[in-house]
Amino acid sequence: MSAGIVTYGGYVPRYRIRPKEIGAVWGADGEAMGRGLNIKAKSVPGPDEDVITISVEAARAAMARVDLDPTDIGAIYVGSESHPYAVKPTATVVAEAIGAAPVMTAADFEFACKAGTAAMQTCMGLTLSKMYKYGMAIGSDTSQGAPGDALEYSASAGGAAFVIGTDRMIATIDHTVSYTTDTPDFWRREGQRYPSHGGRFTGEPAYFKHVVSCAQLLFKRAGTTAEDYEYAVFHQPNGKFPVRAGKQLGFKDGQMDTGLLVRDIGNTYSGAIMLGLCAILDEAEAGDRIFAMGYGSGAGSDGFDLTVTDEIRKIRRDVRSIRDMVKDSAFIDYATYAKYRGKIAMKEAAV
């Protein structure tokens, strides 16, 4: 018996800012920065958006594709590194919003950019063990990049939700494997507003080591090679890392294009690989195999070997696609961005 994806949904805020606009404020060549990162624009959450609203949007989009009794969802886990509250879960708001509460469990996860895929694995275990009928795993972020820091050109916002179960699966997860080490490439301590990172250390010893090692493990477990997959999607902190890692593993551009959203919306952190997987499911057909490889700093990779089933024909596919959300963009200037992201010191409201 296997577990798999029963339905999925994603959300990308419509505001965008270009690297050139960011660079102009800091006296940097933003266009060159964008070219270096292979990022044309990044998504920006609106003033009323945060990880809770993005998670709710994604969860509702997932539920809108299927006729599923929300009370059958026994667990909701939201993975993010930008939960609005340090203490008080995002997941309970999502549970109430989709009508899954109160006879269920919920919690927030954190593992840099792979907390959402960790939640998927947790839901696999819970449903395979029959503890719950369905579980919902969400990866969602309004990621932080310090003003002027290299991260500011890529850190964006978005999220995706997957309902995991053992029946009505539109895609079975045939194999999953993780690769985890203590590697301090990127971190943010309690109370700090912006993360720190190890510059180039985030590349070879961090992203590439974990992604490639985990991918090789997954190939071995699944008995597959890159050629066996119609689609491949990787965690995408920028437009270069996933392509380089993919090619190193034998994947071609055609397999990676659909899930590579970072070029248009930036790095949505916990949402990144899950949104890419949603974009693939938007167009995949029964029988297609999908290779998905997440990465979270700190560090670890979660890999998934998926096969799309005939059930994909039964879900609603006429709803708003991820590509539609990526295209639906409103470009803003840095001043508006600074306002939306709360970077302007305001008069404090009377309490």
Partner 1 sequence: MRDVAIIGVGETPFGELWDYSFRDLGIEAGLKAIQDAKVTAEEIDAVYVGNMSAGKFIDQEHVSALVADYAGLADMHLPTVRVEGGGACGAVALLQARMAIASGMYDVVVVGGAEKMTDVGEVQAAEILSSTADQEWESVFGATFAGLYAMMARRHMHEFGTTREHMGAVAVKNHKNGALNPVAQFQKEITLETVLQSPWVAEPLGLFDCAPLSDGAAAIVLCAMDAARRYTDAPIRIAGSGQASDFLALHDRRDLTTMDATVVAGKRAFAEAKVEPRDIQVAEVHDNFTITEILAIEDLKFVEKGKGGPATVDGVTALNGKVSVNTSGGLKARGQPVGATGVAQAVEIVRQLRGEAGKRQVVGARRGLTHTLGGTGATAVVHIFERGA
Binding residues (CB under 8 A) for partner 1: these are 29, 32, 196, 198-201, 204-205
Nearer to partner 1, 29 or 72 (CB): 29
Shortest distance, position 339 Cβ to partner 1, whole Å: 28
349 contacts: CB under 8 Å, gap ≥ 6: none
Shortest distance, position 210 Cβ to partner 1, whole Å: 14
Catalytic pick among 49, 57, 83, 113: 113
Q: Is residue 235 annotated as a catalytic residue, yes or no?
A: yes
Q: Which amino acid belongs to residue 292? A: A
Catalytic pick among 81, 152, 230, 311: 81
CB 153 within 8 A of CB 42: yes
Nearer to partner 1, 71 or 196 (CB): 196
By residue count, the chain amounts to: 351
CB 193 within 8 A of CB 144: yes
Nearer to partner 1, 102 or 199 (CB): 199
Q: Is residue 81 annotated as a catalytic residue, yes or no?
A: yes
**Could you tell me which of 90, 141, 123, 83 has the C-alpha nearest to residue 275?**
141
Helical pair 30-37 and 19-26, crossing angle rounded to 10 deg: 130
Shortest distance, position 19 Cβ to partner 1, whole Å: 15
Count CA atoms within 13 Å of residue 321 on its CB side: 16
Shortest distance, position 110 Cβ to partner 1, whole Å: 24
Shortest distance, position 39 Cβ to partner 1, whole Å: 18
Shortest distance, position 143 Cβ to partner 1, whole Å: 20
Q: Is residue 83 annotated as a catalytic residue, yes or no?
A: no
Nearer to partner 1, 132 or 186 (CB): 186
DSSP 63-127: HHTS---GGGEEEEEEE-S--S-SSS-SHHHHHHHHT--SSSEEEEE-BTBTHHHHHHHHHHHHH
- Neighbour-count burial for 101-116, b at 16+ CB within 10 Å, e otherwise: beebebebbbbbbbbb
Nearer to partner 1, 184 or 254 (CB): 184
Nearer to partner 1, 147 or 250 (CB): 147
DSSP 9-27: EEE--SEEE-HHHHHHHHT
Active-site residue list: 81, 113, 235
